[in-house]
Amino acid sequence: MVALPLASDNREELLPLDIPEDNLSLTAGILPAQWIKRLFDRDQIGGKPLAEGQIQPASLDLRLGKIAYKIHASFLPGTNSSVQKRVEQLTSYELDLSTPQVLTRGSVYLVEIEEQLNLSNSLSAVANPKSSTGRLDVFTRVIADRSDAFDVIPAGYKGKLWAEVSPRTFDVMVRQGTRLSQIRFRRRTSSQHVHSTSRLDDTQLEALHARSRVTDEKPIIRQGLNLRVNLKRDNGSNIIAYRAKRYTNFIDMDKVGAYRVDDYWDAIEPNAAGNLLLSPGEFYILASKEKLHIPNDHAAEMVAIDPIMGEFRVHYAGFFDPGFGMTSSDGPGSKAVLEVRTYDIPFFLEDGQTIGRLEFERLTDKPTADYGAAISSNYQGQRLKLSKHFIQR
């Protein structure tokens, strides 16, 4: 990836550097790239110097630190405890990530994150796995001290972050600096509750679609943008899904285009009826019927579990950046790729069935570079697509 350019003629660049980030008169919403860079400049994000491509249009990639722990079980520290205290109770052994280490499927690990936070009272954050992490069925969540929720960092937080990592399908190799998670920063104003967001309600989302279409289809808007699964031949491809193989070699999380698809995945072709039976314990990669267009003044997030749609998880990596699907070599629009795992019982999917839901949120400013425009974006213009680690067909 290449680094985001941070020069622009938008209004953010006209703001003097000494404006305090806790100035509650500033615009509310998700911070774009140029504001994330400013948080580094002000030491509100600490740690090692920025790496190339680490800042995305509306998020920051988090790097694994040097120390990891194999732990007995997942946990939350709770509002009166630190992560370190729980580590002392649950650790089996310690790993040194200054040299590459293989994390085995079915195990749970806790890894220090390189970045530390020193947020003002107007800033909170939310984390998610990166797309390439979710597409390998690597379950990753961020934990903060005195936290009673995963992937949620409260306003004013000061301290370390940790990544809980649990490979579910493949063994994976990681090292210090590997990026498995990403984080978004949310700014509130004085009129907003400390836990408020800038998410659009359905009326606002309809208005956004009227101004700048969010999908090439007629949108189904119900508590966000609903997505339907595609189980029919699409754009000349006779593959409608991939199912992960059970027994494979490990995957190095930092390698791109290094692995043969057939060594790790079974390709599934459509049947005449346009349906698919999901088996419990299996991991599938599917795609939406809709092609998405995320305007450059908004970002979106997939709801990972929605019981009204079925007892399965539809997405591990929930962030959709501003500019996603707006331009590509094949024309505008990018499909949502769905990482699906059903639970205790088989689940029968039919073509066009609603399978996911996107929630949209305003940005404080337009980013200096949109997804796919000035950065190396692996998934712009995607249809059904595996993670970047595989040789693409």
Total domains, the chain: 2
Instruction: Let me know: does 109 contact 71? Beta carbons within 8 Å.
Output: yes
Domain boundary among 158, 187, 216: 187
Q: Are 212 and 161 contained in the same domain?
A: no
Does residue 108 sit in the same domain as residue 206? no
Do 239 and 182 lie in a common domain?
Answer: no
Check residue 370 and give its pLDDT: 61
DSSP 5: P
- Domain contains 373: no
Q: How far apart are CA 228 and CA 354, in angstroms?
A: 4
- Residue 371's pLDDT is 56
| Gap between the Cα atoms of 95 and 326, Å rounded | 42
In a domain, 376, yes or no: no
Question: Do residues 23 and 166 share a domain?
Answer: yes
Q: Comparing C-alpha atoms, which of 85, 153, 149, 142 is closest to residue 118?
A: 153
pLDDT at 311: 55
Same domain? 311 vs 216: yes
Together in a domain, 207 and 353: yes
The string of DSSP codes covering 346-362 is -EEEETT-EEEEEEEEE
CB 64 within 8 A of CB 376: no
Asked if residue 176 is part of any domain, the answer here is yes
My answer on whether 157 and 209 are in the same domain is: no
> What CATH number should be reported for the domain holding residue 140?
2.70.40.10
For every residue of 52-66, DSSP letters joined together read TT-EETTEEEEEEEE
Whether the model pTM is above 0.85: yes
> Pick from 187, 222, 256: which residue ends a domain?
187
Give the per-residue pLDDT at 248. 97
In a domain, 220, yes or no: yes
In a domain, 6, yes or no: no
**Structure confidence at residue 194 (pLDDT):** 64
Verify that 26 and 175 share a domain, yes or no: yes
The full DSSP string for 85-150 is HHHHHHEEEEEETTS-EEEPTT-EEEEEES-EEE--TTEEEEEEE-HHHHTTTEEEEEEETT-SST
Domain presence at residue 243: yes
- Report the pLDDT value the prediction gives residue 310, as an integer from 0 to 100: 56
In a domain, 64, yes or no: yes
* Pair (240, 358) in one structural domain: yes
Per-residue pLDDT of the chain (393 residues; tens, 9 = 90+): 333 443 333 333 334 444 555 554 478 999 999 999 999 999 999 999 999 999 999 999 999 999 999 999 999 999 888 999 888 889 889 999 999 999 999 999 999 999 999 999 999 999 999 999 999 999 999 999 999 999 999 999 999 999 999 999 999 999 999 999 999 999 987 666 666 678 999 999 999 999 999 998 899 999 999 999 999 998 778 999 999 998 999 999 999 999 999 999 999 999 999 999 999 989 999 999 999 999 999 999 988 656 555 555 666 658 999 988 876 544 568 899 999 988 788 989 999 998 888 999 999 999 987 655 445 566 665 789 999 999 986
pLDDT at position 31, please? 96
Task: Looking at the structure, tell me whether residues 155 and 232 fall in a common domain.
Answer: no
In this structure, the answer to whether residues 210 and 168 fall within a common structural domain is no
Is residue 3 domain-resident?
no
DSSP 315: -
180 and 108 in a common domain: yes
Domain with 22 in it: 11-187
